[in-house]
Chain A
């Protein structure tokens, strides 16, 4: 079978979906092929733009400040590439800022009214609270996850669920409190408790996704409110921190029910996988795309391609029951890094899976033949990170991947997201931000390339 399309997007995580949205917004016909869930589904509910410099310990006050530092220091960072078009010195930052700001606005629009409705800005980083009770700087959060304001009289209750070992309220509360005391900021009083909710049948191996589904059922949230009321009374809580379980469909509404009934402020913590907020984000973007008439072909893997002259003319995709050839005018590679499957590595070195593009490291030096271990440090969790996670493909100023000699690999191939080299998202806290901004830019570029023909 063959399908024609203006833009083919390979990969359906944040980068691919953002690219598809913006290409469709620009009027192109778009098909997305998605092999499976990548890193986006695992993400915690925060959209990080820039939290730290690698190795640095002072968080950026804002995404804007982060962009300024990064574009000034790292010419190969995707944010710097976004600013490259501008030739005047010093204005790279402004161009990059403009593009990132634009993509943040687009995202807010796409997610407006969805379960993943997002707030925040590039003007101020938020200190988000995680299921471990630690905090991290981020720029945007799903609305239900924004920590409320508290003062010295506030009492914050960390509430866990019996049989859900993903979240331990006792340790989370202790960790959060210790950090607050260290920086000398409210809240000053903290409590923890554990709820046993019988409607799930079994009081063990309760997954956050199960609880979330339950809350989406009529009466589910009201029941939770009743169960919580004793703990609120007992502890005098004014605020409640929950693991992210407030529903996959109507989290904002569910939160409102809790707040109204209990007369407290409620928020969700950033989660680990299986991540309810990650699913909300992915589903909401999928729905937005459906509204733009974009087709997402699930469980389709791009396996091969054909090139004619300097253009990709055909991409062969496979599911378990059929194979499908897509004939695109432009292609966007948004296949992710190791989790997504865009990049892989053996004892003989790293490679990009589909086009065999050369994989480069942070500063775009070749990683040819370097075995992965050599791109890591002896200490697993360290603030400088491992070079391994900054490896990916190198691109020109339009986000078109480069071949081994530094030339554009194909004039109609663009790329976005964590398949790109030059940024170390786990330590920078810039994962979804880079995916979003490069996705939007690649989508626009791919759509513009059509009009130029």
Chain B
């Protein structure tokens, strides 16, 4: 019989919810994590992954302290999925300098604990030597270093680690109601998106970690909750326009950035208040042009690169009104709805990826206190899966006859698991075949993920493996991945073909707003393969348009 009673139910499988589930499970609570879609399928998957020392919130020293400490913790528990990037802030005029002072001081104060150098001020010559693509007319720049984490892997590893500590993790399970009894929560009602069935889970403690949907979940318990929802766009370009990160002032004086990531760069971000359903959002032309125009001043060649996709996410900010988005605190709050007459329900507002472990610790303390359990938080001490040991990429590449680049990319997702994945190719040498050439990803990793990481769709595999995230955006790997998925999960051909179409639709969502230049040729290839040759525009499947395809 399936278990239905839990000490705590966590709703939401983003950075916050997975961190909470991990903490609760590690402290010995029987824990259930419920996510309506896949792990990391919402806001966290659209973020830059910068675990920032606090560039944007220097006015809030407590938060800067907290973030700086969190970076140290992450480097301890998850260093295999973290990379450090140098960053320049090129300045074109004196007024650009005004932003520098306070930041440099605050950053440098905490540099040593993070093992990075203090902020350096560079001459134009030195700046251009570090990054030749900068506008030669710059008058100075600041140099500092920040850490970046793979947000998808972080969430997944937190969820897997929660499982290892006894938690149940249910994806594609949507909370549709909160059961109440005498001024307290009694459990939740859920809808299984895969089977279409409804059921109930019982617990007197519920953590609402649903990011920009938190007010909707609170409303199910008739508890009031206010958020300031603020959307942000990213643009991904097909080449390393720059080799170091760039932070600069946008057309309206906000700060924006350009971060190199593998063979691509990430340009972001905008900040616009929104009242839309986050599921329906795509990047707008204005947002794309705002970002490119702003970055063009300091990196004049940016328009030469091909935009391969855009993404749009919604920040669940603490409700502070009549101030610009930039002035809203970057901190988080935990709302105990007991005061609203709903005991046992805790909701998050605000927060960031970098704070997710901290947020989890705080709420788990409250949960333990409520349940009368004394247990110490260990999430900052015990490594996440894959971080147990160093991995010798060169030796593995040689042992298996696979390129170093391929093995290094796998290591950056997998850490020590790399060894287990490569070992699969001993019995199945053909699994060394490259499935996604852009990233690259080999067949063994696809199979490993399907067997161990509970993906349901190709899009889920993308989050776990990065298949289809490179310059061709899944043109050449989607049908190959669909076939492996069908084989491993014994899918009907109609389900497999529907899966394929769903993934093409998901990629299209991000590509369509920015269609231009070489991307048009890429798109003609997609139509050539899947419509012209495969005739999938005519196959009989029950395709359901996504929320963003409504006007179809």
Q: Which residues of A contact B (CB under 8 A)?
A: 39, 42-44, 46, 48, 52, 57, 59, 130-136, 162-166, 168, 170-171, 174-175, 177-178, 182, 196, 202-206, 270-273, 337-339, 341, 343-347, 371-373, 376-383, 385-386, 388-389, 425-427, 429, 431
Bound form: Cα–Cα A206–B429 in Å: 12
* Chain B proximity of A158: nearest CB distance (Å): 12
Q: Quick check: B285 and A371 within 8 Å, CB to CB? A: yes
Task: Identify which of B285, B516, B530, B533 contacts A345 (C-beta below 8 A).
Answer: B516
Given contacts A132-B479, A168-B483, contact A425 B433 (CB under 8 A): no
Q: Quick check: B533 and A376 within 8 Å, CB to CB? A: no
Is B117 on the interface with A (CB-CB < 8 A)?
no
Which stretch, B19-27, B167-175, B345-353, B500-508, touches the partner chain A?
B500-508
Chain B: residues with Cβ within 8 Å of the partner, total of 62
Q: Beyond A171-B483, A203-B432, A429-B535, list 19 extra A-B contacts (CB 8 Å).
A: A44-B532, A134-B536, A163-B433, A168-B486, A170-B483, A170-B487, A171-B486, A171-B487, A205-B432, A272-B479, A273-B525, A347-B289, A376-B512, A378-B549, A379-B505, A381-B527, A385-B537, A431-B528, A431-B532
Bound form: Cα–Cα A338–B306 in Å: 14
* Chain B proximity of A95: nearest CB distance (Å): 27
Residues of A within 8 A of B69 (CB): none
Q: Quick check: A171 and B532 within 8 Å, CB to CB? A: no
Which one of B429, B433, B535 has the greatest number of beta carbons of chain A within 10 Å?
A: B535
Q: Quick check: A204 and B431 within 8 Å, CB to CB? A: yes
Q: Quick check: B520 and A344 within 8 Å, CB to CB? A: yes
* Chain A proximity of B353: nearest CB distance (Å): 30
* Chain A proximity of B367: nearest CB distance (Å): 42
Q: Quick check: B432 and A389 within 8 Å, CB to CB? A: no
Q: Quick check: B496 and A171 within 8 Å, CB to CB? A: yes
Nearest CB in chain B to that of A51: its residue: B535
* Chain A proximity of B487: nearest CB distance (Å): 6
Is B551 on the interface with A (CB-CB < 8 A)?
yes
Q: Quick check: B524 and A39 within 8 Å, CB to CB? A: yes
* Chain B proximity of A341: nearest CB distance (Å): 8
Bound form: Cα–Cα A177–B492 in Å: 11
Given contacts A162-B430, A203-B430, A378-B549, contact A134 B534 (CB under 8 A): yes
A-B contact pairs, 8 of them (CB 8 A): A174-B492, A178-B492, A272-B529, A380-B504, A381-B536, A381-B537, A389-B527, A426-B531
Is B87 on the interface with A (CB-CB < 8 A)?
no
B429-456 near A? 1/0 per residue, CB < 8 Å: 1111111000000010000000000000
Bound form: Cα–Cα A378–B433 in Å: 34
Bound form: Cα–Cα A380–B534 in Å: 14
Tell me the B483-523 residues at the A interface (CB within 8 Å): 483-484, 486-487, 492-494, 496-497, 501, 504-505, 507-508, 512-517, 520-521, 523
Task: Identify which of B496, B505, B520 contacts A338 (C-beta below 8 A).
Answer: B520
Is B545 on the interface with A (CB-CB < 8 A)?
yes
Q: Quick check: A378 and B548 within 8 Å, CB to CB? A: yes
* Chain B proximity of A162: nearest CB distance (Å): 4
Residues of A within 8 A of B237 (CB): none
Task: Identify which of B493, B512, B514, B548 contacts A175 (C-beta below 8 A).
Answer: B493
Bound form: Cα–Cα A376–B552 in Å: 10
Residues of B within 8 A of A165 (CB): 433-435, 443, 480, 483-484
Bound form: Cα–Cα A136–B538 in Å: 9
Q: Quick check: A386 and B549 within 8 Å, CB to CB? A: no
Q: Which residues of B contact A (CB under 8 A)?
A: 285, 289, 401, 429-435, 443, 476, 479-480, 482-484, 486-487, 492-494, 496-497, 501, 504-505, 507-508, 512-517, 520-521, 523-540, 543, 545, 548-552
* Chain B proximity of A130: nearest CB distance (Å): 5
Q: Quick check: A134 and B535 within 8 Å, CB to CB? A: yes
Residues of A within 8 A of B515 (CB): 345, 371-373, 376, 388
Bound form: Cα–Cα A163–B517 in Å: 34
Bound form: Cα–Cα A191–B501 in Å: 25
Nearest CB in chain B to that of A272: its residue: B529
Which one of A202, A206, A380, A382 has the greatest number of beta carbons of chain B within 10 Å?
A: A380
Q: Quick check: A426 and B536 within 8 Å, CB to CB? A: no
Task: Identify which of A46, A174, A427 contacts B537 (C-beta below 8 A).
Answer: A427
Q: Quick check: B520 and A372 within 8 Å, CB to CB? A: yes
Nearest CB in chain A to that of B543: its residue: A379
Q: Quick check: B528 and A39 within 8 Å, CB to CB? A: yes
Bound form: Cα–Cα A43–B516 in Å: 23
Q: Quick check: B532 and A373 within 8 Å, CB to CB? A: no
Q: Quick check: A178 and B434 within 8 Å, CB to CB? A: no
Bound form: Cα–Cα A131–B94 in Å: 61
Residues of A within 8 A of B482 (CB): 171
Task: Identify which of A345, A346, A380 contacts B508 (C-beta below 8 A).
Answer: A380
Which one of A48, A59, A168 has the greatest number of beta carbons of chain B within 10 Å?
A: A168
* Chain A proximity of B476: nearest CB distance (Å): 8
Given contacts A133-B493, A381-B504, A425-B532, contact A373 B513 (CB under 8 A): yes
Return the 10 tightest CB-CB contacts between A and B, nearest first: A168-B483, A380-B508, A136-B535, A426-B531, A426-B527, A204-B432, A175-B493, A174-B493, A163-B430, A338-B520
Bound form: Cα–Cα A270–B433 in Å: 22
Residues of A within 8 A of B504 (CB): 380-381
Residues of A within 8 A of B545 (CB): 378-379
Q: Quick check: A204 and B430 within 8 Å, CB to CB? A: yes
Bound form: Cα–Cα A343–B518 in Å: 10
Nearest CB in chain A to that of B482: its residue: A171
Residues of A within 8 A of B534 (CB): 130-132, 134, 136, 272
Q: Quick check: B492 and A44 within 8 Å, CB to CB? A: no
Given contacts A175-B493, A379-B505, contact A345 B532 (CB under 8 A): no
Which one of A57, A381, A388 has the greatest number of beta carbons of chain B within 10 Å?
A: A381
* Chain B proximity of A429: nearest CB distance (Å): 7
Bound form: Cα–Cα A372–B431 in Å: 39
Bound form: Cα–Cα A379–B537 in Å: 10
Given contacts A380-B508, A427-B537, contact A339 B525 (CB under 8 A): yes
Residues of A within 8 A of B505 (CB): 379-381
Residues of B within 8 A of A345 (CB): 515-517, 520
Residues of A within 8 A of B514 (CB): 373
Residues of B within 8 A of A377 (CB): 552
Nearest CB in chain B to that of A347: its residue: B516
* Chain A proximity of B546: nearest CB distance (Å): 9
Which one of B430, B480, B540 has the greatest number of beta carbons of chain A within 10 Å?
A: B430
Residues of A within 8 A of B516 (CB): 345-347, 371-372
Bound form: Cα–Cα A425–B537 in Å: 12
